[in-house]
Structure 1
Amino acid sequence: MGKVVLVTGVARQLGGRLVRRVARDPGVDRVIGVDAVEPEHHLGGAEFVRADIRHPAIGRVLAEHAVDTVVHLDVTGTPLGAGGRTAVKETNVIGTLQLLGACQKSPTVQRLVIKSSTSVYGSDPRDPAVFTETTLPKSLPSGGFAKDTAEVEGYVRGFARRRPDVAVCVLRFANILGPRADSPLAEFFSLPVLPTVFGYDPRLQFVHEDDVIDVLGLALREPRRGTLNSGTFNVAGDGVLLLSQCARRLGRPTLPVLLPAVTWIGSALRTVGVTDFSPEQIRLLTHGRVVSTAQMRETLGFEPRFTTAEAFADFARSRGPGLLPPQALAGAVDRVGASLGSAERRAGRAAVRTARSDAGEGA
């Protein structure tokens, strides 16, 4: 691991946890935590520097502390305090540009780790069943956090070409869940009733916040023999969950509505500040997204401790019981499904009898 490690976005829980973890490593001399706001949590033995990465001052921080390893976590989909979506986009895009420019000029920087997202693949009805790191999206993200991450990764690729001596690791995380998750999807799953798109039951993947900290720590270290911690890697827990399964495990009823109505509901929820039910999230909850994690295991050498189902279960426990007990809700859904199946079979038999009767009369 680098002797002097700088971490951005430490005012958030994820950044604070990583800084505390790295500060305990005996192979690290100093840890510098950077953010535009003072963190409410402690940073252990790390040193906090209040700096806005959107401004050139971040270059002076790198130079003054002779930073050799940079972990850029300040790429997020939710605002921290006031500012809203505009401030988030500026931090994600302009902040990343400034940080990469400072790293390019720094003679001491040797390793760069970037927190990205599988949202760069988008969500489209023409998508493949499973995305790999080299799969191109069928439709480029048109806005929101997904577009931010796509732009960030483009800037990082440019930096890697200009500084081939720096080891660059881009981690594309699936939706992060856990007891302290503060993402837009976590807010959606915390609603008492979950609006869903009628006729769709998307496949979803999750990664536990503990696994996020573990893989970030791994990416900071010198690679083990037979592994390589530079490149781009999908990070997700094993398996998938359907949206309907998520609702049942939360004990929350769903409200299936037509797609135009879901868009209207999303706008209403954003207006009242309940959750950021953005168009990109609506597409995810319509078409879903699943990624391959083969490179994460084979090249990066990381094995998550939590599966997708286990990460969601830990998140569900932290949110408390829903409106309906999960067992009762599951039983009700199964009974409705069985009733619909019986009705379809009866209708099918009636149609066959009618066809035979018509055939007999024709003869």
Structure 2
Amino acid sequence: MGKVVLVTGVARQLGAQFAERIRRQPGVELVVGVDLRPAPQLPPPQPGDPVADYVFAPVDLRRPAIAGVLAEYGVDTVVHLNVSATNPGAVGRASVKEINVIGSMQLLGACQQSAQLRRLVVKSTTGVYGATSRDPAVFTERTQAKTLPSGGFAKDAAEVEGYVRGFARRRPDVAISVLRFANLVGPGADTPLAEYFALPLLPTVLGYDPRLQFLHVEDAVEVLRRAALEPAPDTVNTGTFNVAGEGVLLLSQCARRLGRPTLPMLGPALGWAAALAKQTRVSDFSAEQIGLLTHGRVVDTTALREVFGYRPRYSTTEAFADFAAGSGPGLLPPGRLAAVTDRLADLLKRPPEES
């Protein structure tokens, strides 16, 4: 019998793309998609196309029913993607936290009782490192956060990682991969930071220009695929790994590439603007996102390349460029903005008598 892979969060972009990718892998016999909301239909296999069967189970992870799904289909690999900053259909922050934390606890409890389970992959975030003025220039997987996240998605992810470590002690026979993703970008990315960059005017923190890292959705799917399968020779795909495109971008560079003007604001004023944006559902601004837009965050990906054996296809700059190409035009088209900037630079270089 081939591998049976259960994927949580298949109603979201990342989950749907991963489910479609993994069912095309040799040795995979069945993919079970789990989500509370109806998931998009995956493309039907073409004649002669070696694609694994796919079934969708509308299960709320906060309920014990997930244990029955694991047992019914004989699941041996679980890929948990339903830990997210936002969950469509959830009402309020409390519901999102329940889905992230309580749902993960129920899932891990079911996994602990499953005798067939052999591999567990959990999507986490580099947000577990926090974003403060006391942070190191670059975080490695062993770096302890100076200040643990006090709320939001980052705190949820940190709690889930703690439960995963407890599960690992109780089930040492299960291979476990925890993947700390940088901010996901790409065509159709459905993340709070993508919503922020979609604003016509980008509010920023006065006096700060943070360094940011991005991960293209295609690279995220490929890393998940490799983590769900047996490791390639001379690689290890179990453990905790930072996953991000190489290089960094400043927030000001991101704004120029999108053609969107920035509005520098004092920290408290940005907090008020964030609350207004959240109330009007323009963007899901959170305290952790304000911290990121103030201090930034950069992680080391040496282990991803040298231990896990994968170098992302898209660098941070290339991933953001692909995202920008699929975004709507800004108030200041990048070409025109570059021309104005060059013109101002020429004027500043001229001697006083020529200006």
Q: TM-score range by the shorter chain?
A: over 0.9
| Deviation for aligned residue 1:295 | 0.2
For structure 1, which runs of at least 5 residues remain unmatched after alignment?
Answer: 347-363
Cα distance change, pair 199–41 in 1 and its aligned pair in 2 (3 A): farther
Query: Quick one: which of 272, 284, 291 aligns to 1:276?
Result: 284
Structure 2 letter corresponding to 1:10: V
RMSD over aligned Cα atoms: 1.9
Quick check: 2:90–2:96 contact (8 Å CA) kept in 1?
Answer: no
Cα distance change, pair 177–105 in 1 and its aligned pair in 2 (3 A): same
| Deviation for aligned residue 1:78 | 1.1
Identify the residue that residue 115 of structure 1 maps to in structure 2.
Answer: 123
Please tell me whether Structure 1 or Structure 2 has the larger radius of gyration of its CA atoms. Answer: 1
- Matched residue of 2:326: which SS? helix
| Deviation for aligned residue 1:46 | 1.2
Identify the residue that residue 264 of structure 1 maps to in structure 2.
Answer: 272
Q: For 1:76 and 1:122, how far apart are their aligned partners in 2?
A: 16
CA offsets per residue over residues 244-279 of structure 1, 9 Å max, x none? 000000000000111111111001100100001111
Q: TM-score w.r.t. structure 2 length? A: 0.93
| Deviation for aligned residue 1:321 | 1.6
| Deviation for aligned residue 1:336 | 6.3
Quick check: 1:160–1:168 contact (8 Å CA) kept in 2?
Answer: yes
Query: Quick one: which of 105, 130, 134 aligns to 1:97?
Result: 105
Aligned length: 343
Tell me if 1:177 matches 2:185: yes
Identify the residue that residue 360 of structure 1 maps to in structure 2.
Answer: none
Quick check: 1:233–1:295 contact (8 Å CA) kept in 2?
Answer: yes
Identify the residue that residue 296 of structure 2 maps to in structure 1.
Answer: 288
Identify the residue that residue 88 of structure 2 maps to in structure 1.
Answer: 80
Over the matched positions of the two proteins, sequence identity in percent amounts to 63
Identify the residue that residue 42 of structure 2 maps to in structure 1.
Answer: 42
Q: For 1:147 and 1:14, how far apart are their aligned partners in 2?
A: 21
Quick check: 1:7–1:15 contact (8 Å CA) kept in 2?
Answer: yes
Structure 1 letter corresponding to 2:82: D
Identify the residue that residue 8 of structure 2 maps to in structure 1.
Answer: 8
Q: For 2:300 and 2:346, how far apart are their aligned partners in 1?
A: 34
Q: TM-score w.r.t. structure 1 length? A: 0.91
Identify the residue that residue 30 of structure 1 maps to in structure 2.
Answer: 30
Q: For 1:79 and 1:63, how far apart are their aligned partners in 2?
A: 26
- Matched residue of 1:29: which SS? strand
Structure 2 letter corresponding to 1:32: V
Q: For 1:135 and 1:337, how far apart are their aligned partners in 2?
A: 41
Q: For 1:220 and 1:47, how far apart are their aligned partners in 2?
A: 18
| Deviation for aligned residue 1:224 | 1.5
Alignment of 1:87-236 (within 5 A): 87-236=95-244
Q: For 1:122 and 1:92, how far apart are their aligned partners in 2?
A: 18
Identify the residue that residue 49 of structure 2 maps to in structure 1.
Answer: none
| Deviation for aligned residue 1:325 | 1.3
Identify the residue that residue 307 of structure 1 maps to in structure 2.
Answer: 315
Quick check: 1:19–1:43 contact (8 Å CA) kept in 2?
Answer: no
Tell me if 1:55 matches 2:52: no
CA offsets per residue over residues 164-201 of structure 1, 9 Å max, x none? 11000000000000001010000000000000000000
| Deviation for aligned residue 1:22 | 1.2
Quick check: 2:198–2:328 contact (8 Å CA) kept in 1?
Answer: no
| Deviation for aligned residue 1:333 | 4.8
Q: For 1:43 and 1:85, how far apart are their aligned partners in 2?
A: 34
| Deviation for aligned residue 1:320 | 2.6
Quick check: 1:4–1:69 contact (8 Å CA) kept in 2?
Answer: yes
Quick check: 1:160–1:166 contact (8 Å CA) kept in 2?
Answer: yes
